[in-house]
Each structure stands twice: as structure tokens, then as C-alpha cells.
């Protein structure tokens, strides 16, 4: 209770959280809804020379999500609506809380999503092949008329003594396992809850780049507003984006 990082965060209770989580598959359906809202907003407000809204919606999901009916229904709708702004990354580690997924889930997920009208990519080295992951995402971004799903083959608990087993599904590692894992990946095994300076440096750099892009976008928005003052829609959009505390539902409602 009262944690800023609970297992299931609540919308409007934790800063930055826009949807409350719940059963498996709901998060995927939420992502489809966000992509629909963004797709509609871009169609409504973008104009020649003013591409205000061109972002992508990304979502991670696992084997449990893939087994839920709500995810199947949402995936079908996303394919029907040709949501080219949606990229789903499927963490395919073949493990559930009850063990290997062979006990309950053996379908060809890629074939199913293709039948829904999705573009699909498969990355076999999901544990450490960062180049392949980035290449797959870029391929998905280039597909504008279909949502995309990346099947990412991973090993649960990668590097631990229990890797590849359900023993690391939501359970903390033992002290000796943590020590060998940190040593294996080049961290000081005697330190806990430490963020290396290199990480701070990278995030500060990315933050500065993001701030510059935000200012550039706000300038575009200002020009857009001046050019389209006769229309109610753009003025409404401008006021919403300017109000940092605008309710998310207010945005989707426009």
C-alpha cells in the first residue's frame, strides 16, 4: 500500500499512469484503444505541412496475454482498422506460473496474427540481440497499413541459475544467485540498488534531446494554431496540448 510502484498501478493515483491494469489481455486491449485514439486524432487534425500527431503505440505482452479472449478480440479489431501505428512485442519465453506453456498453449501465434491482418516479425535472440530487436521495430514502423507484432524469443530469468524455469516467475532470486548474476554481467556483486553513472549520463543526454524535440514540436503547434484559427477543432487541440494537466479522457474525447 502507498507504493509509487505497485504491482498494479492505478490511473490518476500514480503520476504518468493513464490506465489501471487488471486481468491478462487488458493491457493489450488498452494499447489498441490508445492506437485508435491516436489514429483518429491524426486523421482529424494533421494538415499539409503540419504533421502534429505521428507517434506509435507500443505494448509488451506475454504468453498469458495471448491466451486471453479479450486480447484476441482486440487484435482482430486492430487488424480490421489497419492500425499501422501499433507495435506489439510478444515476449515468447514458453513459461507460465505453472511451468512450460506446452501444458496449455501450443498454437502458432504468428499465423493467428497474420490471419487477423497483422504484419509479423520474429526475433530469435531476444535475450541479447539488440541489433535484431531494433531492426525488427524499424521494419514494423515502415508498415503503415497494418498493426505489427514482433515475436521475441527470450529466456525467463536469463543469466540466473533458474533461467528457463517458472521458478523465476515473480519470485526473488537467492542471494548467491544474485551475486553470480551480477558478476556474470559485469556489476559489483557487493552493491545493491545501484544505477551506474553511465546510465545517468545516457538518460540525461536523451532527456536533453527530448526537450529540444518538444520545443520544436511546440513551435509547430503554435504555427498550426495561428494558421487554423477559424476552425474549432485545431483550437481545441491547441488548448488541450497546452494544458499539461488535461485529463486523458478529454483528449480522446476530442
Q: Domain residue spans in the chain?
A: 1-44+53-154, 195-254
Cβ count within 10 A of residue 122: 16
Helix, strand or coil, per DSSP, at residue 198: helix
Question: Distance between CA 68 and CA 169 in Å, rounded?
Answer: 19
pLDDT in tens, 72-106: 999 999 999 999 999 999 999 999 888 899 999 99
Give the tens place of pLDDT for each residue, 130-179.
Answer: 999 999 999 999 999 999 999 999 999 999 999 999 999 878 899 999 99
Higher-pLDDT residue of 241 and 232 is 241
**C-alpha span between 78 and 37 (Å, rounded):** 12
- Asked if 47 contacts 220 with a C-beta cutoff of 8 angstroms, the reply is no
- pTM of the full predicted structure? 0.87
Q: What's residue 230's pLDDT?
A: 53
End-to-end C-alpha distance for the chain, whole angstroms: 35
SS3 118: coil
What is the tens place of the pLDDT at every residue in 54-80?
999 999 999 999 999 999 999 999 999
User: Is CATH 3.20.170.30 what the domain over 1-44+53-154 is classified as, yes or no?
Assistant: no
Count Cα neighbours of 205 within 13 Å in the Cβ-side half-sphere: 6
Amino acid at each position: 500500500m502507498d507504493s509509487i510502484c505497485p504491482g498494479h498501478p492505478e490511473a490518476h493515483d500514480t503520476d504518468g499512469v493513464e490506465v489501471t491494469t487488471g486481468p491478462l489481455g487488458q493491457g493489450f486491449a488498452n494499447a489498441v484503444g490508445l492506437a485508435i485514439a491516436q489514429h483518429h486524432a491524426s486523421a482529424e487534425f494533421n494538415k499539409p505541412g503540419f504533421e502534429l500527431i505521428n507517434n506509435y503505440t507500443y505494448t509488451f505482452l506475454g504468453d498469458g496475454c495471448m491466451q486471453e479472449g479479450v486480447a484476441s478480440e482486440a487484435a482482430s479489431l486492430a487488424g480490421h482498422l489497419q492500425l499501422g501505428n501499433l507495435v506489439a512485442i510478444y515476449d515468447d519465453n514458453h513459461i507460465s506460473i505453472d511451468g512450460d506453456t506446452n501444458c496449455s498453449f501450443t498454437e502458432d501465434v504468428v499465423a493467428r496474427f497474420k490471419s487477423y491482418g497483422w504484419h509479423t516479425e520474429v526475433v530469435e535472440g531476444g535475450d541479447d540481440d539488440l541489433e535484431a530487436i531494433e531492426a525488427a521495430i524499424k521494419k514494423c514502423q515502415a508498415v503503415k497499413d497494418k498493426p505489427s507484432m514482433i515475436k521475441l524469443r527470450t529466456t525467463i530469468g536469463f543469466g540466473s541459475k533458474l533461467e528457463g524455469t517458472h521458478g523465476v516467475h515473480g519470485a526473488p532470486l537467492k542471494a548467491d544467485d544474485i551475486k553470480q548474476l551480477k558478476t556474470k554481467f559485469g556489476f559489483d556483486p557487493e552493491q545493491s540498488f545501484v544505477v551506474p553513472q553511465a546510465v545517468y549520463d545516457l538518460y540525461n543526454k536523451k532527456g536533453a534531446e527530448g526537450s529540444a524535440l518538444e520545443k520544436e514540436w511546440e513551435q509547430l503547434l503554435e504555427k498550426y494554431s495561428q494558421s487554423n484559427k477559424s476552425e474549432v477543432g485545431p483550437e481545441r487541440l491547441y488548448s488541450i496540448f497546452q494544458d499539461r494537466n488535461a485529463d486523458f479522457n478529454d483528449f480522446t474525447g476530442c
